[in-house]
């Protein structure tokens, strides 16, 4: 499971594009906290706190200025396309006993045995949808690929997940595989063709010699 990260937030007194730009210039990031059955809360967090949780997929704790603590998970992060500054963040308030479906990063670990055989490692799936209680949300899923040889792959159904975590992604999807480069396959095929041609020429030469000897007799 991932550790719970805490950030501080203050209520926004004004909502609107012009005010949002003003807040950003002051080093604050507008955020919204969505709670089922309750009104959406518009808040502000520091740019430093926003960066701290930008890529965090686990449980977050928001400390409000009123003293209230809200447990949330990240729902969406809007980033400026040019300067990569965080423009806005959305959070979803959660309860401790609520089973959630979240998307977590897949991290490959180890050097595949197939690399020593001339193969290349390809990561096909980079994220995994999992279900768990908020406290059990993993920061990432680590997949050991050291046993993979050439032309072997590992499926979603074959990985071991942390306790309390279940995969929602299709179990038959390939996470990673070791493939033989196309150039190596073509070289191997070319060598086989050359070998077959050489054998054919030798056989043809032997037949010609035999026919000549038979003719002289």
Domain of residue 131, CATH code: 2.170.120.20
My answer on whether 154 and 191 are in the same domain is no
pLDDT exceeds cutoff 80 at 205:
no
- Averaged over 156-170, what is the pLDDT? 96
How would residue 198 be classed by pLDDT, with cut points 50, 70 and 90? low
My answer on whether 78 and 146 are in the same domain is no
My answer on whether 187 and 175 are in the same domain is no
40-49, 78-87, 102-111, 176-185: least confidently modelled range: 176-185
Domain count of the fold of the chain: 3
My answer on whether 28 and 89 are in the same domain is yes
**Exposure letters 129-165 (e unless 16+ CB within 10 A, then b):** ebebbbebbbeebebebeebebebebebeebeeeeeb
Task: Report the pLDDT value the prediction gives residue 190, as an integer from 0 to 100.
Answer: 54
pLDDT exceeds cutoff 90 at 183:
no
How would residue 3 be classed by pLDDT, with cut points 50, 70 and 90? confident
CA nearest to 30, candidates 84, 89, 80, 73? 89
φ, ψ for residue 158, nearest 5 deg = -95, -5
My answer on whether 30 and 110 are in the same domain is no
My answer on whether 57 and 81 are in the same domain is yes
My answer on whether 171 and 208 are in the same domain is no
- Write out the H or E segment, with its range, that includes residue 203: helix 182-216
How would residue 156 be classed by pLDDT, with cut points 50, 70 and 90? very high
In the chain, % of residues over pLDDT 70? 82
Which residues 6+ apart lie within 8 Å of 163 measured at CB? 136
CATH number (domain holding residue 41): 2.40.240.10
My answer on whether 133 and 200 are in the same domain is no
Residue ending a domain, among 55, 72, 94, is 94
My answer on whether 110 and 84 are in the same domain is no
Task: Report the pLDDT value the prediction gives residue 18, as an integer from 0 to 100.
Answer: 86
State the Cα–Cα distance between residues 149 and 199, nearest whole angstrom: 32
8 A C-beta contact, residue 151 and residue 180: yes
How would residue 67 be classed by pLDDT, with cut points 50, 70 and 90? confident
Residue ending a domain, among 33, 65, 94, is 94
pLDDT tens digits for range 119-148: 999 999 999 999 999 989 998 999 999 999
| CA 171 to mean position of chain CA atoms | 15
- Averaged over 32-41, what is the pLDDT? 90
In the chain, % of residues over pLDDT 90? 67
Q: How far is CA 74 from CA 18, 46, 77, 187, in A?
A: 24, 16, 8, 49
My answer on whether 173 and 189 are in the same domain is no
Would you state the structure tokens that stand for residue 15, as one six-digit string? Answer: 């909502």
My answer on whether 106 and 172 are in the same domain is yes
pLDDT averaged over the chain? 87
8 A C-beta contact, residue 51 and residue 33: no
Cα dihedral 64, 69, 73, 76 in deg (nearest 10) = -10
3-7, 80-84, 87-91, 150-154: least confidently modelled range: 3-7
- Averaged over 61-72, what is the pLDDT? 91
pLDDT exceeds cutoff 60 at 26:
yes
My answer on whether 64 and 113 are in the same domain is no
pLDDT exceeds cutoff 80 at 202:
no
Domain that holds residue 209: 182-217
Task: Report the pLDDT value the prediction gives residue 17, as an integer from 0 to 100.
Answer: 85
Residue with tokens 């729902």: 75
Residue ending a domain, among 94, 126, 145, is 94
Would you state the structure tokens that stand for residue 92, as one six-digit string? Answer: 């979803």
């Amino acid at each position: 499971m991932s550790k719970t990260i805490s950030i501080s937030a203050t209520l926004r007194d004004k909502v609107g594009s012009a005010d949002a730009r003003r807040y950003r210039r002051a080093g604050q990031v507008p955020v919204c906290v969505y709670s089922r059955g309750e009104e959406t809360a518009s808040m502000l967090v520091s740019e430093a706190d926003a960066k701290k949780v930008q890529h965090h997929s686990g449980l977050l704790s928001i400390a409000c200025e009123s003293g209230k603590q809200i447990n949330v998970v990240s729902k969406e992060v809007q980033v400026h396309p040019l300067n990569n500054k965080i423009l806005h963040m959305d959070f979803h308030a959660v309860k401790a006993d609520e089973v959630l479906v979240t998307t977590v990063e897949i991290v490959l670990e180890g050097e595949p045995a197939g690399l020593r055989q001339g193969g290349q490692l390809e990561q096909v799936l980079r994220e995994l949808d999992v279900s768990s209680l908020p406290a059990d949300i993993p920061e990432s899923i680590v997949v050991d690929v050291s046993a993979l040889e050439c032309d072997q792959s590992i499926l979603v159904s074959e990985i071991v997940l942390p306790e309390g975590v279940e995969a929602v992604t299709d179990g038959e999807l390939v996470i990673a595989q070791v493939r033989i480069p196309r150039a190596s396959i073509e070289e191997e095929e070319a060598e086989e063709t050359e070998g077959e041609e050489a054998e054919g020429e030798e056989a043809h030469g032997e037949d010609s010699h035999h026919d000549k000897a038979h003719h002289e007799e």
